[in-house]
Amino acid sequence: ICGPTPRIPQPAELVHPASSWVGTVAPSLSAGWNLPAYLSVLIALGNLGPVSVALTHRFAPKRLKERWLIHAIQALATATALLLALLWDHTVVVAGQPRSVAFLALAFLLALACCTSNVSFLPFMYQFPPLFIRTFFIGQGLSALLPCVLALGQGVGQLECLNATWGNASQPRYLRENFSAGTYFGLLVALLVSSALAFLALVLWHGRQEGPKERVPPEGGTGPEEVYPLRDDSDPALHDGITEGPPGRDSPPLLTFWTGRNIYLLGLLGVSNALTNGVLPSVQSYSCLPYGNTAFHLSVVFGNIANPVACFVAMFLLSRPWGIGGRDTSIISAAGCVFGAYLMGLAALSPCPPLQGSHVGVALVVLAWTCFSGLFAYLKVAISSLLHEAGHAALFWCGAVIQAGSLLGALVMFPPTSIYHLFQRGQDCVDNCRA
């Protein structure tokens, strides 16, 4: 909790540094190095959670209590991480072969909790002022950064090149990780417990607040809270949105949420999450590792730092009178796509991208990942804040589109990276670009 605006770290963000412990657990599991393929299937099955929530809202409206759903998600994620810390390397004999049933079952439950969080946390935030949406995304960014720092501290993937006993070749020697995967899962349990306690404190704080539940502006003014802080009257695209009558009178019926403006914002949100959570992370190692492990680690760290920093900046800039309009979101998206295209180009040219072996190349790839992450994080906060004005259902669809975009991006990149191997990785301790 930070001041008057508590933040809720999303369990979904704990999945981002997963690749750090795959290399640690894979040798001990029956799936071996096919583990990423198994995890991809399990994460896809985790989308049964959002589908179930959507069907419940459709066929049993107002039956699903979001507060208790969030408590259940956090309890499931915490219990699953705790069991992973204890049972991740246990096997069960199935059809005469040892199988990592416990790990795969718990991975599915964690994926279920992570996927469902996107369609529960955001709609719950509708009952709070718009400022809370922005601090929510700050917490979401921090919940990706902290596991990332733990993963880097674990030291997975560190190696040193040793001279071979014959010829001029070098052989890689992989260094042992600083702590086990079980310890890593245990640290994630602590993070999830703190998240659950923060949410409980938020609920208790909100319950003590006085006044009506709905934020209705007083007669003749907008009150202390911003009502439509992001609306730019000079932007004609925004006049297609939801409108209300003047205070104190019977308002005309609200226009449908599915206006051209809102559909455009949701589409932009889906594409941005497909890029940031699916497409580009799938090729991050190909774009960074040709420049060295230092470039890869700096890109991961600064990219995850840029996320909460951009959300923190958005918390102030989006409250200004000029706000943000539809054209602004397009410009931000285009700028982010420029950096994304540069990173995709580096991945396609792996293992011999331009400026390899130079400090300029390292600086450019780190800068590109930082700007790419920061711009799209800012865009996500801006669009979510704009959709906050459209009502509770808008935030539900916002979370659903975030989840759908992330899933689509991962599914699109799975064949070229894991089946057709269109991206090439270089060999360690070998000059892969020698003619």
The residue written with tokens 């709905």 in the block is 214
Q: Which comes out higher in pLDDT, residue 365 or 281?
A: 365
**In the predicted model, is pLDDT for residue 233 greater than 50?**
no
Q: pTM of the full predicted structure? A: 0.74
What domains appear along the chain, each with residue ranges and CATH number?
1-163+172-206 (1.20.1250), 258-428 (no CATH)
Mean pLDDT across 32-43? 69
**Among 308, 312, 375, 310, which Cα is nearest to 339's?**
375
Q: Residue 158 phi/psi, 5° resolution?
A: -75, 140
Task: Give the model's confidence band at 63: pLDDT under 50 very low, under 70 low, under 90 confident, else very high.
Answer: confident
| Alpha carbon distance 408, 227 (integer Å) | 34
Strand partners, 97: 94
Token pair, residue 38, equals 């198994």
Task: Specify the pLDDT at position 328.
Answer: 85
What is the sign of the dihedral through the CA atoms of 425, 427, 433 and 435? negative
115 exposed, middle or buried (CB, 10 Å; 0-12, 13-18, 19+)? buried
Query: 5-34: per-residue pLDDT in tens?
Result: 344 444 444 444 444 556 567 667 877 656
| Alpha carbon distance 315, 6 (integer Å) | 13
DSSP 26-47: GGGSTTGGGHHHHHHHHHHHTT
Task: Specify the pLDDT at position 249.
Answer: 40
Query: 395-412: per-residue pLDDT in tens?
Result: 889 988 988 998 898 888
| Alpha carbon distance 210, 374 (integer Å) | 37
**In the predicted model, is pLDDT for residue 359 greater than 90?**
yes
DSSP letter at 229 equals: T
Task: Specify the pLDDT at position 377.
Answer: 94
- The highest-confidence range among 63-77, 235-249, 303-317, by mean pLDDT, is 63-77
The residue written with tokens 């014959």 in the block is 166
Q: Calculate the alpha carbon distances from 33 to 19, 182, 418, 427, 432 in Å.
A: 12, 19, 12, 17, 23
What is the sign of the dihedral through the CA atoms of 251, 253, 257 and 259? negative
Task: Give the model's confidence band at 190: pLDDT under 50 very low, under 70 low, under 90 confident, else very high.
Answer: very high
**Among 72, 74, 42, 43, which Cα is nearest to 56's?**
72
**In the predicted model, is pLDDT for residue 4 greater than 60?**
no
The residue written with tokens 């199935």 in the block is 94
**Among 116, 112, 181, 117, which Cα is nearest to 147's?**
181
DSSP element (H, E) containing 312: helix 293-317
Burial 204-216 (b: 16+ CB within 10 A, else e): eeeeeeeeeeeee
Task: Specify the pLDDT at position 24.
Answer: 65
DSSP element (H, E) containing 252: none
Task: Specify the pLDDT at position 239.
Answer: 41
Token pair, residue 235, equals 């932007």
